[in-house]
């Protein structure tokens, strides 16, 4: 039997190339091997962004378009918006009953985010409970495989603990314990060398036009010690070089040699990199333009996905209610 994957993405902005390589490429591969549930988790976006929801629907559409354009296939995977499957809310409520407060308080990202986002008022009931909501997302589909980066491991751990506690309390085996599947991908910095992030404005969007990609690449920080073209360069401290590694690993060695031997200038080197990225993203860009003209087709995919997800989540809830001795009259 195929394993089951749940992957959620928060619609807090447009996807960038770091998201593309770190997550979307992986999703496209996973759907060949697993039953995949790919969810745009809008309730999660509310946990930190409930005060301003004006961009929420634009962000949801943009993520759905980027996923579908990159090769997420609704015939192979269930693609849906979290809030369209209300079962998540009941699951969240029931699981919150059995989750000790100390478990959610000790999730490292909780205190970290409270600190990082101190300008926003996120000391809320909803934000504290987001690991339980995430657990509900996973357990709704009895997912056994969760693709995550290392920083997300504590969330998988708490999902496993909650599943175990539920099964123990009600002497049942309703929930499997999900395993984390660590994603391996080339690390991609922002154009200024810091982490690629919307909050730094240093990202290249998945939906950038070829011209926008070229402009961003031309602005990338290179080896600061290389002042003249005749100076030997140090590719390891150069942003374009990281992109070469991620987008054209076969050229990694020759680029490094040319750089160290001062055989190429940075302007030419960046121009060649821009060509590589533009060419790689071209088919995706074309499909994005097509889907932007037909948003109703995208909404149809999300609607159909929500129907399928609802059936699976409802089946889980039936078992859960029975285990907890809850009845519908």
User: Which residues make up the interface to ligand SF4 (CB under 6 A)?
Assistant: 222-223, 226, 233, 235, 238, 240-241, 255, 259, 264, 266, 269-270
* Of residues 38 and 241, the one with the C-beta less far from ligand SF4: 241
Q: Is the dihedral of CA 315, 317, 323, 328 positive or negative?
A: negative
147 forms bridges with which residues in the sheet? 181
For residue 84, the minimal CB distance to ligand SF4 (Å) is 45
Q: Which is nearer to ligand SF4, 245 or 321 (CB)?
A: 245
Nearest residue (CB) to ligand SF4, 114 versus 266: 266
Q: Select 255 or 306, whichever has its Cβ closest to ligand SF4.
A: 255
Taking the complex as a whole, the smallest distance from the CB of residue 232 to ligand SF4 amounts, in Å, to: 9
Instruction: Let me know: does 232 contact 258? Beta carbons within 8 Å.
Output: no
Output the DSSP codes for 108-147. HHHHHHHHHTTTS---SHHHHTHHHHHHHHHHHTT--EEE
| Closest distance of CB 246 from ligand SF4, Å | 13
Closer by beta carbon to ligand SF4, 256 or else 323: 256
- CB-nearer residue toward ligand SF4: 230 or 325: 230
Judged on CB neighbours under 10 Å (0-12, 13-18, 19+), 51 is: exposed
Give the side-chain half-sphere CA count within 13 A for 205. 18
**Which residues share a beta bridge with 36?**
5, 77
The distance of closest approach from Cβ of residue 41 to ligand SF4 in the complex, given in angstroms and rounded to an integer, is 37
At its nearest, how many Å lie between ligand SF4 and the CB of residue 223?
Answer: 4
For 72, other C-beta atoms within 10 Å of its C-beta total 21
CB 46 within 8 A of CB 126: yes
Question: Rounded to the nearest whole angstrom, what is the least distance from the CB of residue 18 to ligand SF4 in the complex?
Answer: 19
CB nearer to ligand SF4: pick between 130 and 241: 241
Q: How far is the CB of 201 from ligand SF4 (least distance, A)?
A: 21
Nearest-5° Cα angle at 233, 231 to 236:
165
User: What is the CB neighbour count within 10 angstroms for residue 46?
Assistant: 20
Q: How far is CA 94 from CA 89, 98, 107, 275, 281, in A?
A: 9, 7, 20, 52, 43
Please give the structure tokens belonging to residue 13. 């902005």
């Amino acid at each position: 039997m195929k394993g089951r994957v749940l992957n959620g993405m928060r619609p807090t902005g447009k996807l960038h190339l770091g998201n593309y390589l770190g997550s979307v490429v992986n999703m496209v591969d996973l759907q060949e091997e697993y039953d995949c549930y790919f969810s745009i988790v809008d309730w999660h976006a509310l946990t930190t962004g409930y005060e301003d929801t004006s961009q929420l629907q634009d962000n949801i559409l943009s993520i759905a378009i980027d996923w579908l354009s990159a090769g997420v296939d609704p015939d192979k995977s269930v693609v849906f918006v979290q809030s369209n499957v209300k079962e998540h809310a009941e699951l969240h409520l029931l699981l919150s009953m059995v989750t000790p407060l100390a478990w959610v308080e000790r999730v490292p990202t909780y205190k970290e985010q409270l600190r990082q986002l101190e300008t926003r008022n996120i000391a809320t009931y909803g934000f504290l409970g987001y690991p339980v909501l995430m657990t509900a997302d996973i357990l709704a589909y009895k997912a056994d495989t969760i693709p995550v980066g290392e920083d997300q491991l504590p969330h998988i751990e708490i999902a496993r603990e909650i599943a175990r506690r539920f099964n123990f309390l009600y002497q049942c085996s309703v929930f499997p314990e999900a395993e984390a599947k660590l994603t391996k991908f080339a690390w991609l910095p922002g154009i200024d060398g810091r982490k690629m992030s919307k909050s730094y404005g240093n990202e290249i969007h998945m939906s950038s036009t070829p011209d926008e990609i070229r402009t961003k690449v031309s602005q990338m920080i290179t080896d600061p010690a290389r002042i003249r073209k005749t100076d030997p360069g140090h590719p390891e401290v150069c942003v374009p070089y990281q992109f070469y590694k991620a987008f054209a690993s076969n050229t990694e060695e020759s680029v490094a040699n040319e750089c160290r031997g001062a055989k190429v200038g940075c302007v030419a080197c960046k121009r060649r990199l821009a060509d590589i990225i533009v060419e790689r993203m071209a088919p995706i860009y074309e499909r994005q333009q097509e889907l932007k003209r037909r948003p109703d087709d995208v909404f149809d995919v999300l609607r159909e996905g929500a129907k399928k997800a609802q059936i699976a989540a409802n089946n889980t809830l039936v078992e859960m209610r029975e285990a907890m001795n809850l009845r519908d009259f």
